[in-house]
Structure 1
Amino acid sequence: MSFLAARRRSPMALLVLLFLGLTFTGTAYAALQPATPPAPASATVSVEDVEAGQKLFLGNCATCHGTNGEGVEPLGPSLHGVGALSTEFQVATGRMPLPAPDVQAARNTAQVKFSEEEIAQLAAFVASLAPGPGMPDPQFLDLEGADIAAGGATYRTNCAMCHNSSGTGGALTRGKYAPTLMNVEPRHIYAAMVTGPQSMPVFNDQNITPQEKENVIAFLKNIEEGGNSHGGAGLGNYGPAGDALFIWTLGIGTLIALAIWVGRKAA
């Protein structure tokens, strides 16, 4: 007992307790953390697809991302772990290959360089480099049975501060911007939530479940179809900010005109 009491006052006792506490915390976290469900495979990927994707990658992407997707600083980041979903999103929306260095890669479906088959092959090759998010289950893209009201609540909580309450996009800092979500493929909206491209945060299945993601997409498609219109002039559907600007401009203009009229009449 005297041996333990003497060691308890040793300067090393605090370090030992800290080590034991960290070890216990790490072990408990690893044992109790929720398991991440595996990404569903939307299609069978063959060796031929991976090989064809590698050829496309070497000819179009390796200059910036390296021959094995390891990244080339400062031209392009590593692609290890981004998965097939991120690759399909970036290439199918025309963001990649990037035509020129810029603050942000812009969506441009008119400049998509590859066919759907080639995009799938590129995605297969990148997915073979390291585990990453796969293509979503089609049941979460068909929007059947989606809850639009719940999707609106989720959207306003997590997305509206950047993409505007009506999904029309908005400005961010240092020349960046949140793009419009109108006329965007459901799978690309889903992919953006999962992969968090550029300045966007990542919303994994623990943050926003697949069903909630489908609800958000249904909400945006409802706006796209005119579900956000309550009559009168749409004002570009820019939401409260656009309405306030219109009222402010009209109101101030009216008050100035009234003040001039009253002043002239008094004179």
Structure 2
Amino acid sequence: MKYINYPAGAIEAAWQARANTAASTAAQKSGEEANAYIASRSEIWSDLKPVLEGLSSGKCWYSEAKDRVSYWHVDHYRPKSLYPWLAFDWRNMRLCGGMPNIAKSNDFPLNDETTRATAASPSTALEVPLLLDPTQWGDPDLLTFNGAGEPTCADPRDPLSALRVKLSVKLLDLDTEKLCEGRRHTWRSCERRLKDLRGIIEAQRHQNNTDAGDRLKDLCRDLDDLYDETSEFTATAWACAKELNAEMIVRLAKEVARSL
């Protein structure tokens, strides 16, 4: 999971006008009638998919995977069944692969259920969601990964952080073998190249070896690709760099690659 900058300027005025009209109409209804109306206007949030894809370079906001073989879903972070007044609010919408969205369903646990907003008291300011939010600064940093591609908590000593990561992994199916396999591949690709590059730098510090220079350039290009924001599982790539104490090597590789 990586932080997603979600600026208001990304939303077109025409889309916002449609959403406002739908929200106003929904507010005039109640119960099943309101739910039926909201469901009937799903094209409004579906039409937001291209914008959401652009903000994440075509990756699921929760898993960082590129969902090439199934349709993208627009997830309502706060489920519309529990927060119908947010059904057409762009700030509540996240691009999501089909698997995490289906797994999440209508679950949205809070640290304190007594603070849950209602239609009569709609402010969510007092809520502390247990589900990590990719648009909330600091939340993505709580989720990291190990060499097996498994999701773990970056701050396991903090009980709330550990609980939030545990529940997020469970609710979003972030520990499926398909995802872990992809992260393992990224980790191993990064690990091999970071170690090779570190070895070349140390061995060639005072030498001028053309072959080593060419290999160094190739490694820098590869690492620049692996750590590019458009690539899958960049959070895993950075977890690998941190494990190897190689963050500076990554930054050096990216600078070299962009100078070639």
TM-score range (shorter-chain normalised) is under 0.3
Normalised by the size of structure 1, how large is the TM-score? 0.25
Normalised by the size of structure 2, how large is the TM-score? 0.26
